[in-house]
Amino acid sequence: MDAVIENLPTYWRGFSMTLFLLGVSGASALVLGTIIAAMRISPVASLRAFATVYTEMVRNTPLTLVLFFCAVVLPTIGSRLDFVTAALIGLSVYTSPFVAEALRSGINGVPVGQAEAARSVGLGFGQTVGLIVMPQAFRMTIPPLINVFIALTKNTSVAGGFFVFELFAASRELANANGDAVIAILLAAATLYLVVTIPLGAIAAQLERKWVVQR
Amino acid sequence: MSAPIVLFDVPGPRARRVSLVSSIIAGVLILAGLAWIALTLAAPRESGGITLPGYFDPSRWDVFADPLVWERLIFVGVVGTLAAALTASVFAIILGIILSLLRSSEIAWIRRPTAVVLEFIRGMPVLLMMLFILLVLNTGAFWAVVAALTLYNGAIIGEALRAGLASLPRGQREAGLSLGMRPLQSKMLVEFPQAFRQMLPIIVAQLVVLLKDTSLGFIVGYSELLRIGMNQLASFYGNRYLLSFFVITLVLYLAMNLSLSWFARWLSKRTASKSSGKVLPPDDPGRAVLMAEASAASKQTPKF
């Protein structure tokens, strides 16, 4: 326990980097994922095909390989990114298809009858989408999106294996330095991850339970 | 909402022409982007005064003519990945079954602690678990990878099966009990087989996640495909082959993962058409478990 308290600054340094990775790559994955989802449901066939291939490929590539590419292979091709930027790019690219699928499943989850009803009372395209479809799609999208962010929180730990000093790297370093208190040190790191993931999970389950009854 | 045609009037000849033209323009732009990447890679590059040939030059790929490279890649790399994944899958399914039974037990002091443990495991990065097992239990890399993957995926499979048990019609259990079965008998003989069949697509989808996560073994020092391909072979043959090894490793991973995900999707379609029930999204096990849990919860408090 003493080893944990002594090293609180190191934990904090790692944890703030984890939160930084989560925030920045979460936001850019949201933007990238929205673009992919829009391509996926657009009437333009070539964009649809591109988005489908992208989703399938990225989702079936291990995150470790994606980060390896960004941190080790890209510099040999000539990129001059530092490791944090490389990890941010890797995490955003890896997370974007999951965001896109969550959005798409939300929009697909709205029954066609809703749009038909809106059209038959005389609403135009903008009104149908803005007033009827999107509000319902939105509430079906939030719980899976929260799930994606929980997964992203846990995935930031992989960046610790590629030269980024975040919570996992911090706890590995501390564990190596304090061989007699490995259990306490790793449990403290686990607690910090749980501080983020468990409340998010509780919110997702709560929202899903609240909204499933209304459907 | 699979038919966007509902949102607006049926497109006339002009709208269809616009759509076709923009499709061609977008296609050309995508191809141009790919061509730019290819040209950049094909161009010879300067590195510390030496000019290296482009990435499509045969000298970048000639290592793959050596059968020894393939032997390492396939028989050490792919086999290492598959061995860890297969061992962990078997244990994870067994653990998942046990956890789902404990989690849905009638006895509160069994059910509640199991729920807490499940939350704990599900909220933690697998990588941290691997490190914990490696350092604390001192098991060696293979068993650290297998044990962490077993715990994590077992917890998720357990939640899935529990949700499957809870979402069964109550009549199944009542019928079992009225035939004179004990509660445990009814659970094992009547309810559990149905829940397992219903949740099988989610379990297989979770196994795809497990297969992908074996690559985390790279970070804790287990010799799987990523470590063999990218670390050992690429550093043995030198940096000039790094991208070539990356491409081959990527292709091998995609081949394994895509075939397993297609199997999961096929399985879920088959299950859906047989039971004519709700189709749970097989691509995202986490989401599917969430949905099953919610529908189970709504079934338990019927609204009149």
Task: Report d(CA A87, CA A95) in Å as an integer.
Answer: 12
Residue B120 phi, psi dihedral angles, 5° rounding? -60, -50
% of chain B exceeding 90 in pLDDT: 36
Q: Which of B17, B22, B127, B211 is the mutation pick for testing A, counting most A CBs within 10 A?
A: B127
Residue B13 has pLDDT above 90, yes or no: no
Task: Report d(CA B125, CA A158) in Å as an integer.
Answer: 9
What the block records as the tokens of A211 is 């909204």
Residues of chain A with confidence (pLDDT) below 70: 212-215
Query: A142 to chain B, minimum CA–CA distance in Å?
Result: 11
What confidence score (pLDDT) does residue B281 get?
Answer: 56
CB–CB contact B226 A208 (8 Å): no
Residue B237 has pLDDT above 90, yes or no: no
Residue B47 phi, psi dihedral angles, 5° rounding? -145, 105
Its domain, for residue A187, covers 2-214
What confidence score (pLDDT) does residue B302 get?
Answer: 43
Query: A99 to chain B, minimum CA–CA distance in Å?
Result: 11
User: What class has domain B81-223+280-296?
Assistant: mainly alpha
Contacts of A101 (CB under 8 A, 6+ apart): A37, A55, A59, B283, B284
Hey, which residues 18-47 in chain A have their CB within 8 Å of chain B? 41, 43-47
Q: Kindly indicate the confidence band of residue B1, based on its pLDDT and cuts at 50, 70 and 90.
A: very low
The length of chain B is 304
Q: Please tell me if residue A190 touches chain B, with a CB cutoff of 8 Å.
A: yes
What confidence score (pLDDT) does residue B149 get?
Answer: 95
* Domain count along chain A: 1
Q: Which of B46, B122, B124 is the mutation pick for testing A, counting most A CBs within 10 A?
A: B124
CA-nearest of B255, B257, B252 to B212 is B257
pLDDT higher at B258 or A38:
B258
Average pLDDT over residues B216-232: 88
Residues β-bridged to residue B47 = B50
Hey, which residues 77-116 in chain B have their CB within 8 Å of chain A? none
What confidence score (pLDDT) does residue B287 get?
Answer: 67
Task: Report d(CA A92, CA B200) in Å as an integer.
Answer: 30
Helix (DSSP H) and strand (DSSP E) numbers for chain B: 14, 2
Give B213: exposed, middle or buried? Use CB within 10 Å, 0-12, 13-18, 19+: buried
CA-nearest of A5, A95, A22 to A55 is A95
% of chain B exceeding 70 in pLDDT: 86
Measured torsion, CA atoms of residues A41, A47, A53, A59, in degrees rounded to the nearest 10 = -60
Q: Are A98 and A32 in contact (CB under 8 A)?
A: no
Q: Kindly indicate the confidence band of residue B244, based on its pLDDT and cuts at 50, 70 and 90.
A: confident
What the block records as the tokens of B254 is 């995609």
Hey, which residues 56-75 in chain B have their CB within 8 Å of chain A? none
How far from chain centre, in Å, is Cα B52? 38
Residue A169's domain is classified under what CATH number?
A: 1.10.3720.10
Task: Report d(CA B189, CA B175) in Å as an integer.
Answer: 12
What the block records as the tokens of B260 is 């397993």
Q: In this structure, are strands B50-52 and B45-47 parallel, antiparallel, or unpaired? A: antiparallel
CA-nearest of B294, B167, B257 to A109 is B294
CB–CB contact A119 B124 (8 Å): no
Can you tell me which residue has the tokens 């357990």? Answer: B158
Task: Report d(CA A99, CA A101) in Å as an integer.
Answer: 5
Name the CA radius of gyration of chain A, rounded.
Answer: 21
Residue of B nearest to A114 (CA): B1
Count of A-B CB contacts under 8 Å: 192
What the block records as the tokens of A58 is 């990225």
What confidence score (pLDDT) does residue B33 get?
Answer: 92
Residue B303 has pLDDT above 60, yes or no: no
Task: Report d(CA B68, CA B263) in Å as an integer.
Answer: 32
Q: Kindly indicate the confidence band of residue B295, based on its pLDDT and cuts at 50, 70 and 90.
A: low
Among A72, A171, A212, select the one facing B295 at the smallest CB separation: A212
Hey, which residues 91-150 in chain A have their CB within 8 Å of chain B? 98, 101-102, 105, 107-112, 115-116, 119, 125, 128-129, 133, 137, 143-144, 147, 150
pLDDT tens-digit map of B80-105: 999 999 999 999 999 999 999 998 88
Task: Report d(CA B58, CA A171) in Å as an integer.
Answer: 44
ipTM of the complex: 0.87
CA-nearest of B200, B186, B192, B169 to B280 is B200
Contacts of A70 (CB under 8 A, 6+ apart): A81, A86, A87, A89, A90, A162
Task: Report d(CA A28, CA B216) in Å as an integer.
Answer: 24
> In whole numbers, what is the pLDDT of chain B averaged over residues?
84
Query: Which of B9-16's residues contact partners 24+ apart within 8 Å by CB, and which partners?
Result: B11/A43
| DSSP letter (8 states) at residue A1 | -
pLDDT tens-digit map of B141-199: 999 999 999 999 999 999 999 988 888 888 898 999 999 999 889 988 999 999 998 88
**C-alpha triplet B287, B292, B296: angle, nearest 5°:** 150
Task: Report d(CA A55, CA A103) in Å as an integer.
Answer: 13
What confidence score (pLDDT) does residue B2 get?
Answer: 46
What confidence score (pLDDT) does residue B230 get?
Answer: 83
CA-nearest of A158, A65, A159, A53 to B242 is A65
Collapsing DSSP states into helix, strand and coil, what is residue B45? strand
What confidence score (pLDDT) does residue B211 get?
Answer: 93
pLDDT tens-digit map of B57-82: 787 788 888 888 888 888 888 999 99
Can you tell me which residue has the tokens 């896109």? Answer: A100
What the block records as the tokens of B195 is 């829940």
Residue B279 has pLDDT above 70, yes or no: no
